[in-house]
């Protein structure tokens, strides 16, 4: 993408309403714009990040055998009356009436709808277990939307639902999902620690929330540094193997982590000092096991091996996809702007042409840009170098390739690492190789 043509409205002024870094940076870098309180339009660069996150979530959910569906955002009030949650959910639910006076709502979550779908299709225990997910917009009329996309009213969520024949199966589904979450957050380049949690309006008895460490987090957190050390993408745990899931369950039960609400000082003080990690966290995921709460309330049964009908056991599993965009920035930025982890960055690198019109600069930039124009952000604007440097730091792609007239004449470019600020001058072909660019035309 050529920056001269991109729809990327950056802001010079720090927006007054934005209280935290991620909100300020998302507005300043031109990732989102607020359209009404707690509701945001995603602009091209922001949308690319949102999609990258969703894609990693999708790959890892598929990898544990979950199947993707897409349910509507609008649901009928009657569906929610069957579970008893229509009244119980309260003013956070956006209630709507259609032209025939029928009551609808904009879904804040989808337990009822998926349970109904499941019930209309599955007849026998032989069709269990089932694991379904979607990535869809939700609406919760939060009393105080704030911190930008972090606590929005309309937000993008991955929600998954499991159906099992018995308690043991349901617990396996729960830990299979937990393993998938640990892999997802690792791939997203953040440390997210699972912590035992309360269940709130979703209900149930077993629940963990996943918190990303960031100083502006809403909860205080305490955890064992082992959580930082494990690379879950490399862990030899097979989501299909019940013994591996038991190992994970054991590890979670014995490796300390707690929000301030559940903190146990006595257990904490048994940990060696150098293993204690303390800070604040942002909730980016939440998983629940709630047994037959919804299947029973809604009268959903399948037939068992003995021919007797029974209500399947359920769990539900959320990830705040749009919240993660803010949470990743909270965890990874400096005074100059965002520092994207490679896997979610909106483009591979910024290409800074310091003198458009200069023959050598244009030639070197053209060669690099031509290798992957969809995924390179090419600053070809006729702006001062300082403006280009500032904008590139603000948007925070992991690498910047800086092309000035003197070095370009000698076939050299400068490679800047956004995270460390380190700059190295090297031949064009070598820079392309380091950036993983193939098909360079020189």
Task: Name the one range near ligand 5CA by CB under 6 A: 314-322, 368-376, 384-392, 422-430.
Answer: 314-322
Q: Which is nearer to ligand 5CA, 322 or 407 (CB)?
A: 322
Both tokens of 440, joined, read 């360079």
Task: Name the one range near ligand 5CA by CB under 6 A: 221-229, 303-311, 318-326, 414-422.
Answer: 318-326
Q: Which is nearer to ligand 5CA, 39 or 271 (CB)?
A: 39
Give one word for 70, left, alpha or beta, with left for phi > 0 and alpha for psi -120 to 50: beta
Three-state SS annotation for 352-420: EECCCCCHHHHHHHHHHHHHCHHHEEEECCCCCHHHHHHHHHHHCCCEEEEECHHHHHCCEEEEEECCC
For 20, residues 6+ apart whose C-beta sits below 8 A from its C-beta are 147, 148, 150, 216, 330
Binder of ligand 5CA out of 46, 107, 148, 152 (CB under 6 A): 152
Applying CB under 6 A, does 23 fall inside the site for ligand 5CA? no
User: Which SS3 state, helix, strand or coil, does residue 189 take?
Assistant: coil
Q: Report the Cα 288 to chain-centroid distance in Å.
A: 18
Binder of ligand 5CA out of 85, 151, 172, 187 (CB under 6 A): 151
Applying CB under 6 A, does 177 fall inside the site for ligand 5CA? no
Applying CB under 6 A, does 317 fall inside the site for ligand 5CA? yes
- The C-alpha atoms of residue 400 and residue 152 are separated, in whole angstroms, by 32
Applying CB under 6 A, does 60 fall inside the site for ligand 5CA? no
Applying CB under 6 A, does 208 fall inside the site for ligand 5CA? no
Task: Name the one range near ligand 5CA by CB under 6 A: 219-227, 234-242, 291-299, 319-327.
Answer: 319-327
CA dihedral sign of residues 289, 293, 298, 301: positive
Binder of ligand 5CA out of 129, 204, 239, 285 (CB under 6 A): 285
Shortest CB 172 distance to ligand 5CA, Å: 18
- The C-alpha atoms of residue 340 and residue 317 are separated, in whole angstroms, by 26
Report which DSSP code applies to 275. G
Which positions from 104 through 133 interact with ligand 5CA, judged by CB under 6 A?
Answer: 109, 111
CB 1 within 8 A of CB 115: no
Task: Name the one range near ligand 5CA by CB under 6 A: 95-103, 280-288, 336-344, 413-421.
Answer: 280-288
If you write DSSP's letter for every residue of 67-86 in order, what string do you get? EE----SEEEHHHHHHHTHH
Q: Which is nearer to ligand 5CA, 6 or 71 (CB)?
A: 71
Footprint of ligand 5CA on this chain (CB under 6 A)? 109, 111, 140, 142, 151-152, 155, 157, 159, 202, 283-286, 316-318, 320, 322-323
């Amino acid at each position: 993408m050529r920056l001269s043509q991109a729809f990327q409205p950056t802001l010079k002024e720090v927006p007054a309403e934005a209280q935290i870094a991620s909100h300020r940076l998302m507005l300043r870098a031109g990732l989102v714009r607020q359209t009404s309180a707690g509701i945001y339009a995603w602009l091209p660069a922001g949308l690319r990040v949102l999609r990258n996150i969703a894609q990693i979530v999708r790959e890892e959910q598929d990898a544990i055998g979950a199947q993707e569906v897409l349910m509507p955002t609008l649901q009928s009030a009657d569906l929610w009356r069957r579970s008893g949650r229509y009244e119980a959910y309260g003013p956070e639910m956006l209630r709507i009436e259609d032209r025939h006076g029928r009551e609808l709502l904009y879904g804040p979550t989808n337990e009822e709808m998926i349970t109904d779908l499941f019930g209309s299709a599955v007849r026998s225990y032989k069709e269990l277990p089932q694991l379904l997910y979607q990535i869809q917009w939700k609406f919760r009329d939060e009393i105080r939307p704030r911190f930008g996309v972090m606590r929005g009213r309309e937000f993008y969520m991955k929600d998954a639902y499991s159906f099992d024949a018995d308690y043991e199966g349901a617990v396996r589904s729960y830990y299979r999902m937990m393993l998938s979450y640990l892999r997802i957050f690792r791939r997203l380049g953040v440390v997210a620690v699972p912590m035992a949690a309360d269940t709130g309006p979703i209900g149930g008895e077993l629940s963990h929330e996943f918190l990303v460490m960031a100083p502006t987090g809403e909860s205080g957190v305490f955890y064992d540094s082992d959580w930082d050390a494990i690379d879950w993408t490399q862990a030899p745990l097979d989501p299909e193997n019940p013994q591996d899931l038991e190992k994970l369950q054991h590890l979670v039960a014995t490796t300390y982590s707690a929000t301030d609400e559940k903190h146990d000082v006595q257990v904490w003080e048994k940990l060696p000092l150098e293993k204690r990690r303390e800070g604040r966290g942002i909730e980016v995921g939440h998983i629940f096991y709630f047994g037959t709460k919804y299947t029973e309330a809604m009268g959903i049964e399948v037939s068992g091996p003995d021919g007797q009908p029974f209500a399947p056991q359920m769990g539900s599993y959320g990830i705040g996809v749009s919240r993660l965009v803010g949470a990743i920035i909270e965890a990874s930025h400096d005074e100059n702007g965002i520092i994207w982890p490679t896997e979610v960055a909106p483009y591979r690198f910024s290409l800074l042409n310091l003198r458009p019109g200069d023959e050598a600069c244009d030639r070197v930039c053209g060669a690099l840009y031509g290798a992957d124009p969809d995924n390179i952000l090419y600053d070809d604007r006729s702006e001062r170098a300082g403006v280009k440097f500032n904008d590139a730091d603000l948007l925070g792609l992991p690498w910047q390739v800086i092309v000035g007239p003197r070095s370009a004449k000698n076939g050299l470019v400068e490679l800047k690492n956004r995270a460390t600020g380190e700059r190295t001058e090297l031949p064009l072909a070598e820079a392309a190789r380091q950036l993983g660019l193939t098909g360079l035309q020189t």
